[in-house]
Structure 1
């Protein structure tokens, strides 16, 4: 009997920060660490480092180090990581629909209470 393999994808994507990191990286060809940190309000340096390493270990994000002073490191989504784009876009679209649905439900409930 085959089991649902969505756990694998969710293990890679779920969390407070990974989807936000991927969203920012997908908007740019490459980003430096501090650019990413500035683009994601509330993320700590430690958490960003940790999440980038996890994404890198799954071949979703690549890290390119330039041997210069001061050191320069750039991050980008790998070709393989780009295969997640349709999934992330579908989740984004579904979320917009869900937010609208919940707002409508809340408005309908408020009208029912007022009646």
Structure 2
């Protein structure tokens, strides 16, 4: 594999990018919002059932603070809040897809999957 940049020169921008999207919950949240359709808090929570309310709120707030997610509150009763991605996520989605493909390959090789996601649960049931 040929590198056009030295790995040393990648460290600073990589650290910066990971500071924005790193952590256990930010990437799953970004993937849920990636279709461009506004999502309510409960919709996001339903798609990531193992996340606590505190961690979901904190992660959404951090993504909002770094201008990746927009929070829109409506003046309605009951209150309604929706979250959407800001800007074009296609640049970020491509490397995430590659990372997911890499993860799939290594999960298959190791025979491991996560206990939480529906696709891994479905695969585990089929493998039995």
Gaps of 5+ in 2: 1-7, 112-128
TM-score (norm 2): 0.71
RMSD: 1.9
Gaps of 5+ in 1: 104-115
Q: Which moved more, 1:75-84 or 1:7-16?
A: 75-84
Structure 1 residue 40 and structure 2 residue 40: aligned? no
Q: Select 1:89's aligned residue among 55, 74, 97.
A: 97
Q: Distance in 2 between matches of 1:30 and 1:82?
A: 17
TM-score (norm 1): 0.78
SS at match of 2:23: coil
Larger of the two Rg values belongs to structure = 1
Cα deviation code 1:61-97 (max 9, x no counterpart): 1111111111110001111444311121121111112
**Larger RCO (CA under 8 A, 6+ residues apart):** 1
Q: Distance in 1 between matches of 2:89 and 2:61?
A: 14
